[in-house]
């Protein structure tokens, strides 16, 4: 069973960051976790200050102080709100490169989990498509929940969990983590393997393709049974081999049809991705999925 004793919630004031707090609440109540809030004021490279002038440097410091004061007020309001809900909350407001400070604070606080918006606010409130989220995902050793905002005003639910699984890989971290979430929230887990049609020539016999699909189905079933027996059988798991021109599109289309509450997947995918890189399939799914994504650093 996964233990989530401390959750790091990072916010830039965007709607998705606020939705991330709702997920933090849901998880904290289920796992009896403490929540640590963090806002990072993005600092400008000091090399530019010498070119711009000392006066602007002083003005910049004054602006930072004002921003910090505003964020302290925001976090104190959150602290009161969570206290009424019986949740423990502390916070930090720092300056620096957001993704670096997020990793730094996660390590200092010994957090078990990072939650942040999938998209965020950049300069002048413009939307940035996951720039800091992607950087955190690339570098973090912890599970990172990239939250997509919802129209509903109620707290999010985690009942339908989708786990893309590659039977050719030895990593099963995402499935094991999903099982723990399934137990905590009495959820249903759907495990899918995407049979990549681009790997086979156009004239490839349908009969052999069906046999390959059957072999992958057996492999997937056996792997799930193995993990299921180790993790306990208190959660419902179903599996399916689907076909697509590539894994990313297969996952996205399946998610659009089945509408899971959460996708849980390993950050590294097929074909041996380097340690500090986010797997291309995972990155594309995170960018395009219409639901929140929990990315897990794979361990054997």
| Residue whose token pair is 């979430």 | 181
Q: For the residues 197-216, what does the mean pLDDT come to?
A: 74
- Torsion angle of C-alpha atoms 165, 171, 173, 179, degrees rounded to 10: 50
Q: What is the pTM of this model?
A: 0.86
Residue 45 has what pLDDT?
54
Residue 202 has what pLDDT?
61
The token pair that represents 7 in the structure block = 């959750």
Give the residues across from 160 on adjacent strands: 188
Half-sphere exposure of 76 (CA within 13 A, CB side): 6
Residue with the bigger pLDDT between 46 and 25: it is 25
Helix axes 173-185, 15-31, angle to 10 degrees: 70
Length of the chain: 300
pLDDT tens track for 148-160: 988 888 899 999 9
> What domains appear along the chain, each with residue ranges and CATH number?
6-147 (3.40.50.620), 160-296 (3.40.50.620)
pLDDT tens track for 72-106: 999 999 999 999 999 999 999 999 999 999 999 99
187 contacts 158 by C-beta, under 8 angstroms: yes
Spatial CA neighbour of 191 closest among 149, 162, 158, 154: 162
pLDDT tens track for 169-194: 777 889 999 999 999 999 999 999 99
């Amino acid at each position: 069973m996964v233990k989530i004793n401390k959750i790091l919630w990072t916010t830039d004031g965007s709607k998705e960051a606020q939705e991330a707090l709702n997920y933090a609440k849901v998880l904290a109540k289920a796992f009896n976790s403490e929540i640590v809030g963090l806002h990072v004021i993005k600092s400008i490279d000091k090399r530019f200050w010498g070119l711009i002038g000392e006066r602007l440097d002083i003005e910049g410091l004054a602006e930072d102080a004002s921003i910090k004061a505003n964020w302290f007020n925001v976090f104190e309001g959150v602290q009161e709100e969570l206290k009424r809900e019986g949740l423990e909350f502390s916070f930090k407001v720092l300056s620096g490169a957001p993704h670096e400070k997020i990793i730094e604070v996660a390590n200092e606080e010994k957090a078990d989990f990072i939650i942040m918006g999938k998209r965020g606010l950049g300069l002048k409130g413009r939307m940035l498509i996951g720039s800091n989220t992607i950087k955190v995902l690339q570098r973090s050793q912890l599970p990172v929940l990239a939250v997509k905002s919802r129209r509903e005003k109620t707290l999010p639910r985690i009942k339908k969990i989708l786990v893309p699984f590659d039977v050719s890989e030895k990593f099963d971290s995402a499935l094991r983590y999903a099982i723990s979430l399934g137990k905590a929230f009495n959820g249903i887990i759907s495990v899918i393997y995407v049979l990549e049609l681009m790997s086979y020539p156009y004239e490839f016999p349908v009969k052999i393709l069906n046999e390959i699909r059957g072999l992958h189905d057996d492999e997937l079933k056996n792997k799930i049974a193995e993990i299921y027996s180790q993790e306990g059988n208190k959660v419902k798991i179903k599996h399916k081999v689907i076909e697509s021109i590539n894994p990313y599109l297969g996952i996205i289309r399946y998610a659009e049809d089945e509408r899971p509450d959460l996708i849980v997947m390993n950050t590294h995918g097929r074909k041996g991705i380097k340690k500090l890189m986010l797997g291309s399939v995972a990155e594309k799914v995170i960018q395009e999925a219409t639901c929140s994504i929990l990315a897990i650093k794979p361990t054997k």
